[in-house]
Structure 1
Amino acid sequence: MTTPTLPARSDFPQDFLLGVATSAYQIEGHAQGGAGQTHWDTFAATGNNVTRAENGALACDHLNRWEDDLDLIRDLGADIYRFSLSWARIMPEGRGAVNKAGLDFYDRLIDGMLARGLRPAATLYHWELPSALADQGGWVNGDMPNWFADYTDLVMARLGDRLWSVAPINEPWCVSWLSHFEGHHAPGLRDIRAAARAMHHVLSSHGRAIEVMRARGMRNLGAVCNFEAALPADGSPASKAATARYDAIYNQFFLSGLFHGRYPDLVLEGLEQHLPQNYQDDFAHITAPLDWLGLNYYTCKRLSAGCGIWPNYQGVEGPLPKTQMGWEIYPEGLHHFLTHTAKTYTGDLPLYVTENGMANDDTPDQPDVARITYLDAHMRACLRAIEDGAPLKGYIAWSLMDNYEWAFGYEKRFGLVHVDFDSLQRQPKASYHALAQGWRAG
């Protein structure tokens, strides 16, 4: 396989920003520094939920190695570092007492970014819910928007003056549907009523957080949603109907709530009876104006009719080359979502690709051609979208380094930097160097 030359900084508009992303639980080492227990700790310790029952207790030990990790981001030539804050590290019980060591850590981390010329792009929640709140129903509990607003206000009182951007919640579909309907992520439920309420409460919590930050005079506030190109497995009406329903749940529900103040009919036909009473009243804050939208994109999904019970779809294996996750490589989907989202939901609102990358079973002594090829195809999809009028302002790769990949433990490697999970030594891969060549130029 020939190694492509990745698009360079000069190929994009002059003000285009480039960056990398991580999340707290996946890299920090959650058993250290006074952090409280999370529902991910419980989920990982239960049954066969996670590969080898691995958890984020040590992860990449970023808590103690953050300076070296920030040096790697600086040396890559990145403009943005998209990171997340751990609610349980800051407030071990989710409410009440504050872990000073947790806030101090993020204080130092943000100052470290600024000292290296990096723009701190914070996410307030990337999936590690404090166990004390999970014990009270977590995202199913109607009090979650208030709890999340309190957490947001406390964090921003300390850190908000130095953050370049903030998104309240990473990937609402994963937080709610994947975790409460499909059961693949913590808390591991398979309950349609819980899923419906979690989906709504996630958006309501997002809106309350935006209101809190606006009241503090903060700017550059956005939302980050994940997208998956939905493709019918065949030309049958049943497969087309299944695909439309999957697309409505995965790709339309959250955008429609955020920007149109309503949920798609194809989703309400299965969920409306389970949504909170008078849920429509919450759109007043769910639709709080945003300064940008982030799109996380990795793959496509082939759909056919399922068992006949709503939502009546099932995934079918597709023909394209796949990543270590078994995900098809389909860069055309990224172009579609960038252009379609602007036309249908956001207009001229700035868009950012906030996650994009691939898992590959690689080692640092390999040429890493597969990841370079993946990044090349998707960055060129971004260039085509810009040419077609999408207001795309930045691209952020996932992930800086190999880390804890949730239900897959430490088996799947998304990193530009290889991590030896025994020694915790970091070693940049060929993909890191390929990006750096273009990002550091100009």
Structure 2
Amino acid sequence: MTYTRSEFPDTFLFGLSASDPGDEALTEGFDSFRFPVHWQQVLPRGRGEPDSGGLDHYKHLIDTVLRRGLRPCAILDSSTLPDAIADLGGWRNRDSANWFAHFAETVIEHIGDRLFSAGPAARSWTVGKSDHLGTDLRAHARSLHHHLLATGHAIRAMRSYGMTNLGVEFQLDEPEANTALHAYFHGEYTKDYLAKFSPNLPKNWQRDFDSIDEPIDWCALNYAHFKDLDGSLPWSSLHREDTGETPLYVVADLGSVENTENLLGDIRSDLAQGAPIKGLFAQAQEGECLGLLQTALSGGKQPAPWVAPTKALHGHWNMVADVGGTNTRLGVVTNGHLDELHKFPTGSLEDFQAALRRVRDAVGTDPQAVVAAGAGPLRDGVIQLTNASLTLSRDTLASSTGAQRTFVINDFTAAAWSVADIKAKDVAVLQGSGSPPPGTRLVVGPGTGLGVGALLYSEGHYHTVSGEGGHMGLSPRHRDEVDVFDAARRIAPECFFADSLAIEAEMFLSGTGLPILYQAVCMAGGQSDTPTLSAKDILQAAQSGADEFAVKTARMFTEHLGAITGDLAVALIPVGGVFLLGGVADKNRWLFGQEFLDAFNAGGRFDDIRGGLNLYVSEMDEFGIVGANNFCKNALAR
């Protein structure tokens, strides 16, 4: 019996399959062309930069396919590993999963915008370059598992570029092919497989199924040796037992006219029973078999040629967040550069998650990484914000954005990273060199609270040191301040260190602390009815000289901030500079004059060392976002 296209659904795609098509292989009447993209041809070293010649080969191939009005369908092939990967253990090495994902990213980055579909071939037998597993159970189990993991990683990596129509091809005539298929679609190995291989699987292998089980848009069933099989093919049972409603494509080496007729009949019969078969790829240049298919294709309406979308893909991007007590800023970063900045009220956890999803949805793809900086101590990857009823966690970031890597950092870890690449144009010089030199750097930020952070410089690289330096002890510097500290004990007794006169530095040296300091100054000066003033009002009154208590408050603030900044500097000797940042420093530059410098440089026998340090006020906008981005770039480069 001869079948025609009209006997198949209008959307059914008839395709050709070959490695390297010339014009003679791209026979008239077909809709799609399936071709393998070889790992070793794109990345001869397995990793790193791609080979331009290999990529040019595939670009030319796609040009040929598109010129003939066909849909280019790429299969990422790893049947022969790059030598460098084989030398590192091939699929027995767990890192092979990430290396293969990098290969997938490279393909999509360079040719993905002209592909109709793409997906890895989930092979099940390779150990090294092309070695059969034989009786090595450990190599067998680990190679299969890592290959499945690589398949999931590759799908996720390609989708992160905005690539759609992604799937997986299973080579059904390979050993353990059914095991791989069952594992991918059920998130577990069969009982029979575990009975034989469980002791040889990698440690904690069960956890990997969260990565293996990536959603796909289609599944291809490859019968490379269809011509050697008798009877109908088992996709009906696979559909019922494993792949469910996932769209299926059949890839077959036809072999004979009889097999071709049987194949078309089986597909038509299963379509009538509801099987989700969407297309057939036949081996190109197969003489009579291909001629039979051409005859079938002549009897119906051919789908319109596919047109590659323009600007459909978005390169890898990261999301960076600066989460404050009042506002949350979310930045979209591509290739290390901030493209967009969105501002939201911080609100509740639900509000925060909604903001994350809103930015992700606006871009259209999941970010590769998310970094969120918040004010509060970091414990086990979680921050409970000091000034908001919000808890930041890596799990929240991952579930809300789909990011592969998530980081929660202290706000002054971000502040420290903001000065990693700071330039002369971004600072006002208080003391020392006009341009910040490389070296360990200290940041001190009097804002709503008092933040402290540092970057240690070693062998040309910066490393974060985070802590809560703003909660160090502050004690009277002069005798006339004793009464002020004693009065403060009556205002905020919980902030004092035991029965001493040492108070948490933040309770005086911040926007929150200035009103406490002002009230204590007033009480020590004999004023019982102290007005309630904001930090802004206090500093304005001090600058104008209209309020003597405000003037003394500002003087104490300046001297104590200078002294504690100098003390912190002595602890680190930050030859790369000391940087003041935050709202108070930015808006009240008059506070950082000679009195501040005198206090900073007053170090007893270390006067000269303190006086030789470079001291700046950072004038960088959005330093929290800049710092979160710098942290992200450093973390992803490891």
TM-score by length of 1: 0.64
Q: Percent identity?
A: 36
Report the CA distance between 1:228 and its aligned residue: 5.2
Q: 2-side partners of 1:298 and 1:94: how far apart? A: 26
Is the partner of 2:11 in helix, strand or coil? Answer: coil
Name the counterpart of 1:194.
139
1:338 aligns with 2:235: yes
Paired residue for 1:262?
A: 188
CA distance in 2, matches of 1:394, 1:158: 26
Structure 1 residue 213 corresponds to structure 2 residue 144: no
> 1:131 offset after TM fit, Å?
1.2
Q: For residues 256 and 377 of structure 1, do their structure 2 counterparts lie closer, same or farther at Cα, with a shift above 3 Å needed?
A: same
CA distance in 2, matches of 1:122, 1:226: 15
Deviation at 1:71, TM superposition (A): 4.2
When residues 6 and 197 of structure 1 are mapped into structure 2, their CA distance, relative to the original with a 3 A threshold, is: farther
Q: Name which of 92, 100, 108 aligns with 1:156.
A: 108
Partner of 1:376: 261
Aligned with 1:73: secondary structure? coil
Aligned partner (choices 93, 97, 103) of residue 45 of structure 2: 93
How far apart are 1:379 and its partner, in Å? 1.4
1:283 aligns with 2:283: no
Determine which of 6, 13, 18 is the counterpart of 2:9: 13
Deviation (angstroms), 1:298: 5.8
Change (3 A) 1:112 1:228: closer
Deviation at 1:208, TM superposition (A): 0.2
Amino acid across the alignment from 2:137: I
Residues 356 and 390 (structure 1), Cα distance of their counterparts in 2 relative to 1, 3 Å cut: farther
State yes or no: 1:440 paired with 2:298.
yes
**For the residues of structure 2 that align with 1:260 and 1:112, how far apart are their CA atoms?**
39
- Quote the offset at 1:260 in angstroms: 1.2
Could you list the structure 1 runs, at least 4 aligned residues long, displaced by more than 4 angstroms after superposition.
none
Q: Does the residue aligned with 2:62 lie in a helix, a strand or coil?
A: helix
User: 109, 114, 117: which one pairs with 1:165?
Assistant: 117
Flag the 1:380–1:126 CA change in 2: closer, same or farther, 3 A: farther
Partner of 2:87: 135
Structure 1 residues 189 and 259 mapped into 2: Cα distance closer, same or farther (>3 Å)? Answer: closer
Q: Distance in 2 between matches of 1:124 and 1:299?
A: 20
Inter-CA distance 256–439: structure 2 relative to 1 (3 Å threshold) = same
* 1:297 paired to 2:181: no
Worse-matched range after superposition: 209-218 or 123-132: 123-132
With over 3 angstroms needed to count, the CA separation of the structure-2 counterparts of 1:126 and 1:135, relative to structure 1, is: closer
State the alpha-carbon separation in 2 of the partners of residues 259 and 188 from structure 1: 25
The answer (yes or no) to whether the contact 2:39–2:103 under 8 Å persists in 1 is yes
> Which runs of 5 or more structure 2 residues have no equivalent in the other structure?
301-638
CA distance in 1: counterparts of 2:164 and 2:52, whole angstroms: 26
In structure 1, what residue type is equivalent to 2:284? Answer: L
- Cα distance in 2 for partners of 1:101, 1:356 equals 29
The separation in 1 between residues aligned to 2:132 and 2:248, in whole angstroms, is: 32
Give matches, 1:40-439, under 5 Å: 62=20, 66=21, 69-75=22-28, 77-169=29-121, 171-173=122-124, 176=125, 179-180=126-127, 186-190=130-134, 191-227=136-172, 249-251=176-178, 253-297=179-223, 327=228, 329-332=229-232, 334=233, 337-358=234-255, 371-397=256-282, 399-401=283-285, 416=286, 429-439=287-297
Q: C-alpha displacement at 1:126, in angstroms?
A: 4.6
How big is the shift at 1:400?
A: 1.1
Quote how far apart the aligned CAs of 1:268 are.
0.5
**2:47 and 2:103 in contact (8 A); partners too:** yes
Task: Kindly provide the CA deviation profile for residues 101-120 of structure 1, in whole angstroms up to 9, marking residues without a partner as x.
Answer: 11111112112211211111
The one-character-per-residue Cα deviations of 1:163-182 (angstroms, maximum 9, x if unpaired) are 1111112x523xx2xx45xx
| Structure 1: 5+ residue stretches without partners | 24-61, 230-245, 301-322, 359-370, 402-415, 417-428
Query: Following TM superposition, by how much is the alpha carbon of 1:347 offset from its aligned partner in structure 2, in angstroms?
Result: 2.4
Distance 1:90 1:277 in 2: 32
Task: Check the 8 A contact 2:224/2:251 in 1, yes or no.
Answer: no
Q: Within 5 Å, which residues of 2 pair with 1:17-36?
A: 17-23=13-19
For 2:169, give the aligned amino acid: V
Is the contact made by 1:331 and 1:381 (CA closer than 8 Å) also made in structure 2? no
210-219 or 97-106, which deviates more: 97-106
Q: Secondary structure at the match of 2:251?
A: strand
Change (3 A) 1:227 1:86: closer
Instruction: Return the TM-score normalized by structure 2.
Output: 0.45
1:94 counterpart SS class: coil
Asked if structure 2 preserves the Cα contact closer than 8 Å seen for 1:295 and 1:352, the reply is yes
- What is the rounded CA distance, in whole Å, between the counterparts of 2:52 and 2:208 in structure 1? 33
Letter in 2 for 1:133: I
Match of 1:41?
none
Cα separation, 2, equivalents of 1:345 and 1:11:
27
Q: Deviation at 1:135?
A: 1.0
* Deviations, residues 379-414 of structure 1 (Å, cap 9, x unaligned): 1111111111111111111x214xxxxxxxxxxxxx
Deviation of the 1:299 alpha carbon: 6.5
Return the alpha-carbon distance in structure 1 between the equivalents of residues 189 and 275 of structure 2.
24
The one-letter code sitting in structure 1 at the alignment partner of 2:295 is Q
Structure with the higher fraction of residues in strand conformation: 2
